[in-house]
Amino acid sequence: MSGFDESLLDEVDETVRVRFVVNGRKVACEVAPRETLVDCLRNALELTGTHAGCEMGACGACLVQIDGRAVHSCLMFAVQADGAEINTIEGLTESGVIADLQAEFHRRNALQCGFCTPGMLVNAQELLSQVAEPSREDIRDALSGNCCRCTGYEAIVDAIDAVAKARREAGGTP
Amino acid sequence: MKARAFSYFRAATIDQALDAHARAGDDARFIAGGQSLVPALSLRLQAPRLLIDITHIAEMRGVRREGGFLRIGALTRHCEMLSEPLIAEFAPLLHAAAPFVAHPAIRNRGTFGGSVALADPASEFPAMTLALDAEIEIAGSSGTRRIKADDFFLDLFETALQPGELITAIHIPLFKADQRFAFDELARRRGDYALVGCGMLATCAGDHIDDIRISFFSVGNIPTRVKGAEAALIGSSLDAERIAAAQVALESDLAPPDSDEVPPAMRLHLARVLLGRLLGRLRDGA
């Protein structure tokens, strides 16, 4: 187990053509295997709402939905997402599914600089789709993967809590 | 930072993955969830020339009963520990531990097999395979073998896995009606690594403990069974005296590492507190 069989590299390309469905549209692009999904989304597809923060999976600014679930786009290479259905903050905004969250964040000023907000919204949507009646403690637990360096957490928890209650009163979770 | 350039191969079968690894020599890594590997690549702690994506290997997916075991495919994601009914019924300790593994977005990608393969001593699932007396199914160029969790964890991030071998499934003895379990961890903030964590599985006749396996994490180089404490509990009911004896036994069972942040004496104290709390829950059926 030591020598590297160079013929292996003839079978794998240095750039790979990947296809995704991003925000409901089929797209294809050429990526190097080392390119993370967040870089691909921002650079090749110009979807700059997804933010690259820590690039270690700790800050949550890069969250997107892959096949319906919140995922760190910095902890995934674009090649791994080949064939996936991806929704970024732009797609979630266009479709209106997080309009109530966005309105409540806005109303309560649940952000300061706003850098973390796209990830906060993706995470909030993930929480509310999984837990029908989150307590404030549940909300704080869920936000443990999102860093707001302006420390705007209190208003963010308030906003998510208010939307959870409003959705419940409107008849269950989406 | 960004990962060093590498080539990428998506394997469709276990054989394809093993073959690609064999041909790449030691210069390849398997990737599944990637929630620990991608940061390691980005920091260039690792810089393989080939990444072999095993995420699409159907043989490594799914959860099913097989004999007296629950066979959990290595690609089972952490979030599935919470949503899969067979796990809730037959491996409830894993179900109880899952909410403590990182945070939701990590759980949506990270895999059970990957966590066990990495063997992070601060991770919940490797330690729980010990408490559960799990068997780890491994595929390699010379065939498939099964190894007990007790024999799997060797040293810091070092396991019985040989280069090029792949964890394909983890087999958990089915949870039985006369068994009880408990899990908890002490962390500064949910989602952070635990200061101390513990899971246990006991076989009981009424309040009498016939057998118990207790496993700690975040207290040493490897997930650690505390056999002295186990011995102090087997063959009796969980009265205050026995619990105290088990807490005392931790002193010889555990050797917390020296660190400025959490001195060994403090970590040992926290382990005793946690053990007492969990045994109390086990006794009260809470």
Query: Is residue A174 over pLDDT 70?
Result: no
Nearest to B104 among A66, A70, A75 (CB): A70
- What pLDDT sits at residue A1? 45
CA-nearest residue of chain A to B32? A80
10-residue averages of pLDDT along chain B (286 residues): 92 97 92 97 94 97 97 98 98 97 96 98 98 98 96 97 97 97 92 92 94 97 97 95 98 92 95 98 84
Alpha-carbon span B266 to A142, nearest angstrom: 28
CA-nearest residue of chain A to B33? A76
A8 to chain B: which residues are within 8 Å by CB?
7, 9, 20, 23-24, 50
- Residues A29-88 pLDDT 10s: 999 999 999 999 999 999 999 999 999 999 999 999 999 999 999 999 999 999 999 999
Torsion of CA B65, B67, B68, B73, to 10 degrees: -40
ipTM: 0.93
A52 touches chain B (CB under 8 A): no
How far away is chain A from the Cα of B99, in angstroms, using its nearest Cα? 10
Nearest to A33 among B7, B163, B190 (CB): B7
Mutation for testing the B interface, residue in A7, A9, A10, A12 having most B CBs under 10 Å: A12
If 0-12 CB within 10 Å is exposed, 13-18 middle and 19+ buried, where does residue B184 land? middle
Cut 0.80: pTM above it: yes
Q: Which segments of chain B are extended strands (E)?
A: 7-10, 28-31, 50-53, 63-66, 69-73, 135-140, 143-148, 153-155, 158-159, 166-173, 179-186, 196-205, 208-217, 224-225
- Residues A57-72 pLDDT 10s: 999 999 999 999 999 9
> What percentage of chain A has pLDDT greater than the value 90?
86
| SS3 call for B32 | coil
B45 to chain A: which residues are within 8 Å by CB?
none
Provide residues of B within 8 Å CB-CB of chain A. 1-10, 20, 22-27, 31, 34-35, 38-39, 41-42, 49-51, 53, 55, 79, 99, 102-106, 108-109, 163-164, 189-192
